[in-house]
Amino acid sequence: MAQVIFYEKPGCINNAKQKKWLIAAGHDVISKNILEAEWSPDELLPYFGDRPVTEWFNKTAPRVKSGEIVPESFGVEDALALMVKDPILIRRPLLRVDDKRMQGFDKNAIHAWIGLQPSEGNEAVVEKLQKDDLTIRPRPDKNARCDDQAPAIPEKPLSLMMEITNAAGLEVTYAYDDLVFVSHNIFIYRFTEIGRNVDIFFNKDCEAQAEQRFMETLLRAAKDKGITLSRRGHYTLSEAEEENISIEFLEAP
């Protein structure tokens, strides 16, 4: 078992899957926000190994997609200086175990490095993840997103939901249409046509005790804010066509 320092963008669905696999393989994963880390060129460079500079870049970063930044035009020093100032440009994840560092989630390379065989009782989890291509991040459909553009924030009580979520020790990571996503994908809020009535769906993989604990805390905080929070059921995430992510809501009867 290894202790893996895992730099991610909170809320990214593929990063969540990658961490889940590492944990299922028996590793201790310490998550860090790649956008908030204090990077320096000397600290960042070892993660890239012998990759060409163009592969260091996150191709879905807004400044890359818009054409403002052309990865092929950068040398080592200029690319490092740019990424230190704007870490969203770094292709994720970054992994560190002891003194060794790696960029990306190459299954074969990671297995040869620290092992990805499932620990006892996690065979089914790893079997499912093995079918996914975790080296790329999917383009989400209308129900979810994992890219780096700022999603549209619905004209709903979002600020109140952020405060309610903080009371449970979590944070809102992004909002899209009528959905609000929180850190670690534990649950999703869904706004209704009545502004202060909000539905909540828990991830099907969330343990029942944890779900109940979060719900009790959220209900207390929601009551203080004048929000009616209703537990409607569960949801699952899966890959759809063209590498999209699909959300299926499993509403309680």
Q: Is residue 54 part of a domain?
A: yes
Q: Convert the pLDDT of each residue in 153-180 to its tens digit.
A: 335 788 899 999 999 998 888 777 788 8
Residues 107 and 175 in one domain: no
Residue 140 lies in a domain: no
Question: Is 153 part of any domain?
Answer: no
In a domain, 84, yes or no: yes
Number of domains comprising the chain: 2
Question: Where is 190: in which H helix or E strand?
Answer: strand 187-191
pLDDT exceeds cutoff 90 at 84: yes
**Residue 62's domain is classified under what CATH number?**
3.40.30.10
Which of 88, 113, 130 lies at the terminal end of a domain, its last residue?
130
Instruction: Tell me: cis bond preceding 140? Omega within 30 of 0 counts.
Output: no
Q: What pLDDT, on the 0 to 100 scale, is given for residue 109? A: 92
Catalytic site positions: 12
Question: Is residue 149 included in any domain, yes or no?
Answer: no
Q: Would strands 228-239 and 245-251 be described as parallel, antiparallel, or unpaired?
A: antiparallel
pLDDT at 227 over 90: yes
Q: How confident is the model at residue 148 (pLDDT cuts 50, 70, 90)?
A: low
Residues 6+ apart with CB under 8 A from 68: none
- Whether pLDDT at 32 is above 70: yes
Sign of CA dihedral 17, 22, 24, 27: negative
**SS3 letters for 223-240?**
HHHCCEEEEEEEEEEEEC
Closest CA to 125 of 18, 4, 12: 18
Give the three-state DSSP class for 193. coil
Domain span at 228:
158-251
Helix axes 76-85, 41-48, angle to 10 degrees: 110
Q: What is the pTM of this model?
A: 0.56
Domain co-membership, 226 together with 120: no
Which H or E run contains 124? helix 123-130
Both 80 and 162 in a single domain? no
Residue 182 · residue 206 · CB < 8 Å: no
The pair of structure tokens assigned to 28 is: 């201790």
Q: Is 197 within 8 Å of 230 (Cβ atoms)?
A: yes
pLDDT in the model for residue 245: 66
pLDDT the model gives residue 43: 96
99 and 171 together in one domain: no
Is there a single domain that holds both residue 9 and residue 114? yes
